[in-house]
Structure 1
Amino acid sequence: MSLQDVARKTFVPATLRNGAALLALIVLALFAWYARNALLLGFGGLIVATILVTAAQPIKRWTPLGHRGAVWLAGLLIALALAGLIGLIMPTLTQQAAELSDALPAALDRVRGVMGETALQDMMSSSALLQNLAGHLTRWSAAVMGTTTSLFFVLVAGGFFAMSPQLHRDGLVSLVAPSSQERTRAVLDRAGKGLRAWLFGQMIAMVTVGAAVTLGTWLLGLPAPLALGVIAGLLEFVPVLGPVVAALPGVLLAMTISPTMMIWTAGLYVLVEQLESNMLLPMVEQSVADVPPAVFLLAIVSIGSIFGIAGVILSAPMTVVAYVLISALYIDPLNGRDTLPE
């Protein structure tokens, strides 16, 4: 057999295999693109499942319940706690939200008065803007309905994931070659631990920031302190941009009182975020990958451009999971720190 025949027999199968692998990657990328909204909802379900499984751990340890029973009980207790909290603060929150919605237009008028004849004033008074807002009302109503449906899907998917987490993990592991399954399982477990640690730290940060803003704005004498605190706590889930957006209502309200109040209010938000960044975040980073703020910012822009506002909300946990996976699969082996599997 000539060298040309040998080369032909070895080169052609390798070329076919590489071409088939490339075609499979292209098909997978196209599927991921067209199914991106379903994948995003699935990731939201993964977050719900992580919360349920974490809450079920002490129940399994302190009661004779099995895994599924503990998950059911954890879900019930979380639902009851949320219902009780909402029932406790909803009357005050509704009243203060109404006060906030009444006060913000006056604050915007104050801003326009300070700025004078500017682009902001022209934009706010233009008929084109009013027409656009009217046109958006129908789409906003449809978006509310879509959000309700998506939330229901996320909760149901999270319940299924939480009931049998190992089944779904092993299903993903079975997609890779048997020689790589043990390592893949260890990498997925590490990503799950990182997500769980980040969520725990983020919940602490949200409650702390919300309580600090509520107390601080109440001491300053701003209207609707509870509403401002709830806004700040919820937006703390969105890194980098969330705290900036959360400060805008409080600063605008302070402008309607006096320039001194505006300075004090801005200082309050800066102080709260500094305490959160220098005291709470280091505790979180002890158990989860230290993702640089620039990476979070780029993730918000890139993920938000693909998934919209839902992607912005979930960009932080998605970035944490991706950062842990990239570190375990590429960065650690490249730098000689490959310790998987454990």
Structure 2
Amino acid sequence: MVELSPPPEGADPSQHTPSPLSPTSQLHVATAALVALERTLGRFYRLALTVVVLAILFLLISTGGPVLMVVCASALVAVVLHGAAQWITHLLRLPEWLSVIVLVMVIAGALTLLVHISGPDIMVQASHLRTALETQIRTLRDTLNNDALGHLVMDHIPQSMGGNQTGPGARSLGADFAGSMTNVLTSTFGSVGTLIVIVIAGIYFALSPRLYANGVLRLVPEGHRPLARKLLHTIGHTLGAWVAGQMLDMTVVGFLTWWGLWAIGMPLALPLGLIAGMSNFIPYLGAFLGATPALLIGLSVSGREALLVLGLYAVIQTFEGYVMSPFIQKRAVSMPPALTILSQTIFGAFLGAWGFIFASPITAVLLAVATQLSAPLKPKDEI
């Protein structure tokens, strides 16, 4: 701030002029102005860069969402293979790339043996499951349409969900629910070609993860590379922990469902257990998707059987929610339930089934990155 010298006594205030600034003071004022301008331009640049990045992300998601989801699925496959290969490397003292090849060969051999021994039986049960589900859904739809209240409800359900509603918005909810549930065993990601692309890309990612990570780092300005390297490590660790936790959760739920359905005498216990385990890849909402086929099959047998199935799934999900999940979250990734469900809704609305399936790992990564980039709250700032 420039200070004005007071006018001398008896002088006319209107004729008083400020004393000239010294060259040093002028230099300080100019420097301060340049610093202020630089800070303003820096804020504007960061704001513009943020807007451009968000616009590019929105464009990529809106136009190439399925491609991004394929990349995400490939990254999850690579995380699984790389994590298991590290254990083999530590045990057998092999190079990482060789451990990945050994692991892929072991998995391929195990799947070939499983298909040779149990493949025909699994395919027959899957075919019976599809037929039973289609029959039961058709019977349930006819029953509802023959009732006045049921017919009113069916008129407000889109045809894509098995209802009677027609019009432009009738198929806005995506693929046919019944078809998607009965095709789980034969078309996990929608097509065999997509699955092959995901597996092959995941194997290549796992063979040389540093090559692709370094390629990403080369795109980052040199001054920001330490932060980018830290974020890449965070993303890798978060995905690894999330995948490990979900695989353990899926295995336990699938086995308990299969054993429980077999114990109560339900038909098609094995494919129904596989569906329940695979559906648990989607936290919370996957439990309802996995229980729906078993309930429909139970209704086709008897009301008592349906109640037994409902009780069995309630017990398994209670065990999963109050015993398994806390145990897994202590060693893996913990996300608030409301955030998980909201992320599934948002990603599902933009990307369809792909976004619904991969919403949780993407949200876990975004949450971990946001935690790294933001400072923790001080106790006085907390609500």
TM-score range, shorter chain: 0.7 to 0.9
Confirm or deny: 8 A CA contact 1:32 1:39 kept in the other structure.
no
Partner of 2:322: 278
Partner of 2:209: 165
Partner of 2:54: 29
Q: Equivalent of 1:119, from 148, 152, 176? A: 152
| Identity percentage of aligned residues | 27
Confirm or deny: 8 A CA contact 2:96 2:207 kept in the other structure.
yes
1:32: Cα distance to partner? 2.0
Change (3 A) 1:41 1:291: same
1:157: Cα distance to partner? 2.8
Residue correspondence of structure 1 range 41-60 to structure 2 within 5 A: 41-60=70-89
Partner of 2:7: none
Q: Equivalent of 1:293, from 337, 345, 353? A: 337
Confirm or deny: 8 A CA contact 1:194 1:287 kept in the other structure.
no
Partner of 1:339: none
Confirm or deny: 8 A CA contact 2:254 2:273 kept in the other structure.
yes
Confirm or deny: 8 A CA contact 2:347 2:356 kept in the other structure.
yes
Confirm or deny: 8 A CA contact 1:52 1:71 kept in the other structure.
yes
- Looking at structure 1, the residues matched to 244 and 109 of structure 2 have their Cα atoms a distance apart, in angstroms, of 19
- Looking at structure 1, the residues matched to 210 and 302 of structure 2 have their Cα atoms a distance apart, in angstroms, of 58
1:256: Cα distance to partner? 2.1
- Looking at structure 2, the residues matched to 145 and 189 of structure 1 have their Cα atoms a distance apart, in angstroms, of 28
Change (3 A) 1:31 1:82: farther
1:43: Cα distance to partner? 1.9
Confirm or deny: 8 A CA contact 2:189 2:195 kept in the other structure.
no
Confirm or deny: 8 A CA contact 1:197 1:284 kept in the other structure.
no
- Looking at structure 1, the residues matched to 109 and 378 of structure 2 have their Cα atoms a distance apart, in angstroms, of 48
- Looking at structure 1, the residues matched to 108 and 370 of structure 2 have their Cα atoms a distance apart, in angstroms, of 35
- 1:268-289 CA distances to partner (integer Å, 9 max, x unpaired)? 1111111122222122112223
Q: Which has the larger radius of gyration?
A: 2
Confirm or deny: 8 A CA contact 2:244 2:332 kept in the other structure.
no
Q: Equivalent of 1:97, from 126, 130, 134? A: 126
- Looking at structure 1, the residues matched to 202 and 141 of structure 2 have their Cα atoms a distance apart, in angstroms, of 44
Change (3 A) 1:235 1:77: same
Structure 1: gaps (5+ residues):
337-342
Report 1 or 2 for greater relative contact order, CA contacts < 8 Å, sequence distance ≥ 6: 1
Q: Which has the larger displacement, 74-83 or 1-10?
A: 1-10
Confirm or deny: 8 A CA contact 2:253 2:320 kept in the other structure.
yes
- 1:235-291 CA distances to partner (integer Å, 9 max, x unpaired)? 010111111011111111212222222111101111111112222212211222321
- 1:183-239 CA distances to partner (integer Å, 9 max, x unpaired)? 543343233223212211211221221121112112222221111111111101011
Confirm or deny: 8 A CA contact 1:49 1:161 kept in the other structure.
yes
SS in 2 for 1:286: helix
SS in 2 for 1:237: coil
1:72: Cα distance to partner? 1.7
- Looking at structure 2, the residues matched to 290 and 224 of structure 1 have their Cα atoms a distance apart, in angstroms, of 34
- Looking at structure 2, the residues matched to 321 and 82 of structure 1 have their Cα atoms a distance apart, in angstroms, of 31
Partner of 1:340: none
Confirm or deny: 8 A CA contact 2:154 2:165 kept in the other structure.
no
- 1:5-62 CA distances to partner (integer Å, 9 max, x unpaired)? 6666445544444444333333322322233333332222211111111121122123
- Looking at structure 2, the residues matched to 119 and 229 of structure 1 have their Cα atoms a distance apart, in angstroms, of 34
* Higher helix proportion (structure 1 or 2): 1
Residue correspondence of structure 1 range 179-328 to structure 2 within 5 A: 181-328=225-372
- Looking at structure 2, the residues matched to 53 and 264 of structure 1 have their Cα atoms a distance apart, in angstroms, of 41
The code of the aligned residue for 2:152 comes to A
TM-score in terms of structure 2 length: 0.74
Alignment RMSD, CA only? Answer: 3.3
Confirm or deny: 8 A CA contact 1:206 1:233 kept in the other structure.
yes
Change (3 A) 1:87 1:269: farther
Confirm or deny: 8 A CA contact 2:241 2:331 kept in the other structure.
yes
The code of the aligned residue for 1:290 comes to S
